[in-house]
Amino acid sequence: MPPSTSSTVLLKTLSPSRLKNLLLALALLCIFYLLLSNHSNHRQAASLLQASPVLPPRAAPAIPTSRRHLVFAVASSSLSVPRRRPYLRLWYSPNSTRALAFLDRLPDGDPAPDLPPTLVSEDTSRFPYTFPGGLRSAIRVARVVKEVVDRRELGVRWYVFGDDDTVFFVDNLVSVLSKYDHTKWYYIGSNSESYEQNVKYSFDMAFGGGGFAISRSLAVALARVLDSCLVRYSHLYGSDARIFSCLAELGVGLTHEPGFHQVFEGNELLPDLLALQRTFTPWRRGISAGSSHYMFNTREFPKDPCKRPVTFFLHSILSDENGVQSNYKGQIIGHCVRGNTLKNLRRITVFSRKLEHDIEQMKALRRQCCDVLPVVNGSMVIHIRQCGDNELISMHL
């Protein structure tokens, strides 16, 4: 007997109309079952989504910029570096500061462990230099940007450039650069103190004497095209102008930070009361180098020594993890008739606490205030501190 005999017999006993109704009922049951099953699956999926929502991956906390993220590239020469070593020692620390000094040739003697490692710059004789009476070394100094980037140092966020007599306050510089995103293109520095120089370069060029910083991403792009710029800008005088011109071709302008300066302006909050004493001359070429317009108010330096302000020179510094004590001694000039206070004042001691500004505070800085104690036994003590909410900075005249 075939295996389907019983089912065949059942179908044969049903009339065609009854068979049709049976098949229709079975089809409706199947459709109802499928709809009910699909609805149940949707409810189960919705409950799972509500119970455990899918969250985006949490971004890793950003690592704050530190001293180790900065690489200093110092432009120097074998002739000047012996005289500039004391300046380099003021800010360079072998254990925490990454710095390199680029020279035309190695100086005599063994390298000092407390100075930045020295490197000999590459040959630049293939680049034209057409500025009348200028120095070809400007090409070598400008090319320091490319040479330091081509070393591919690890973990670099900022390249900082300066001369061998530029003094950097490294911790302060770290705080300033922390405000900016090093992955973006940033060219950070400040203008010259000379109005005429700034007009010439549209107030948009950083001057290397005060130092300037370039973010790593921009430095890499600049290094790729710098050689072609050196060929095009053979008519310029200095290295800063060459770097500025190449950055202009890349479409990057200067981000102004007043902390980079060649001449410290001083009391800019009280310009009408304390004009800057002119103890300097502008960096200019030609017979008219003795006169210039400045970016700040100045007063002439008197020829009569007794009419000059009393000058106090830095004598010593003591520091710890909480702050700095700096001591100054006055310079006695001749037998000048002065007020009793200045006549008896011989020493000034300044106490200042270490600033620990976070990035948000750095975006809206406020000057500090101070307490000046009366002169006792020829000494004056000044305490620098945070200002009160409604405290004003004023002069008692």
Examine the fold and report which residue of 197, 231, 256 is the final residue of a domain before the chain moves on.
256
Overall average pLDDT of the 51-56 stretch: 52
- Residue 280 in tokens: 């300097």
How many C-beta atoms lie closer than 10 Å to residue 181's C-beta? 11
Residues 220 and 176 reside in one and the same domain: yes
Coil, helix or strand at residue 306: helix
The CA-CA-CA angle for residues 248, 253, 259, to 5°, reads 130
- From 320, 386, 321, 323, select the one nearest 350 (Cα to Cα): 323
Instruction: Specify whether 109 is located in the same domain as 178.
Output: yes
* Percent of the chain whose pLDDT exceeds 70: 69
- Residue type present at position 86: P
DSSP state of 57: P
Q: 10 Å Cβ neighbour count for 322? A: 7
pLDDT, tens digit, 9 for 90 and up, residues 344-362: 888 999 999 887 766 776 6
Per-residue pLDDT for 197 more than 90? Answer: no
pLDDT tier at 187 (50, 70, 90 boundaries)?
very high
Query: Amino acid identity of 60?
Result: A
Quote the domain boundaries for residue 289: 270-301
Q: What is the mean pLDDT of residues 231-238?
A: 92
Same-domain status, 244 and 294: no
Place of tokens 């060029």: 205
Compare 293 and 166 and report the one with higher pLDDT.
Answer: 166
Same domain assignment for residues 100 and 225: yes
**What's the average model confidence in pLDDT over 179-205?**
75
- Within 10 Å of residue 233's Cβ, how many Cβ atoms? 22
Least confident of 31-35, 107-111, 161-165, 210-214: 31-35
Number of DSSP helices (H) and strands (E) in the chain, helices first: 11, 14
User: pTM of the predicted model, to two decimals?
Assistant: 0.68
Residues 276 and 251 in one domain: no
Based on the domain organization, do 167 and 240 belong to the same domain? Answer: yes
State the pLDDT at residue 335: 74
190 vs 273: which has the higher pLDDT:
190
Residue 326's pLDDT band (cuts 50, 70, 90): very high
Is residue 35 a part of any domain in this protein? no
329 and 341 part of one domain:
yes
Mean pLDDT confidence for 268-287: 56
| Structural domain contains residue 323 | yes
Q: How confident is the model at residue 80 (pLDDT cuts 50, 70, 90)?
A: very high
Q: CB within 8 A of 265, min separation 6: which ones?
A: 193, 258, 276, 295, 296
Specify whether 282 is located in the same domain as 376. Answer: no
**Separation of alpha carbons 196 and 381, rounded Å:** 40
Residue 319's SS3 state is strand
- Considering the domain architecture, whether residues 158 and 276 belong to the same structural domain is answered as no
Which of 279, 301, 323 marks a domain boundary?
A: 301
* Mean per-residue pLDDT of the chain: 80
Question: Which tens digits make up the pLDDT trace of 206-224?
Answer: 877 788 999 999 999 999 9
CA-based nearest residue to 386, from 354, 360, 358, 362: 354
In a domain, 3, yes or no: no
Helices assigned H by DSSP within 210-273: 216-232, 239-250
d(CA 360, CA 178): 10
In this predicted structure, the answer to whether residue 369 has a pLDDT above a threshold of 50 is yes
Q: CA separation (Å) from 55 to 50, 119, 343? A: 12, 51, 72
Task: With a cut of 50, say whether residue 395 has pLDDT above it.
Answer: yes
Give a yes or no: residue 185 inside a domain: yes
Specify which residues 352 forms β-bridges with: 324, 384
Reduce the DSSP state of residue 318 to 3 states and report it: strand
- Residue 105 counted as domain residue: yes
Percent of the chain with pLDDT over 90: 41
- Grouping H, G, I as helix, E, B as strand and the rest as coil, residue 343 is helix
Query: Across residues 366-391, what is the average pLDDT?
Result: 88
Is 248 within a domain?
yes
Q: Is there a domain that residue 27 lies in? A: no
Average pLDDT over residues 279-292: 56
Same domain, 239 and 90: yes
Which pLDDT band holds residue 61 (cuts at 50, 70, 90)? low
Q: What was the pLDDT predicted at 178?
A: 92
131 and 112: one domain?
yes
Rounded to whole angstroms, the Cα distance separating 170 from 66 reads: 10
Tokens (6 digits) for 288:
């008219």
Number of Cα atoms under 13 Å in the Cβ half of residue 377: 1
In 92-208, alpha helices (H): 137-142, 144-149, 170-177, 195-200
Residue 316 has pLDDT above 60, yes or no: yes
User: Is 55 inside a domain boundary?
Assistant: no
Q: Dihedral of the CA atoms 208, 214, 216, 219 (nearest 10)?
A: -70
CATH number at residue 190: 3.90.550.50
Same domain, 297 and 362: no
How many domains does one find in the chain?
3
DSSP state of 175: H
Instruction: Dig out the tokens for 367 from the structure.
Output: 């000057």
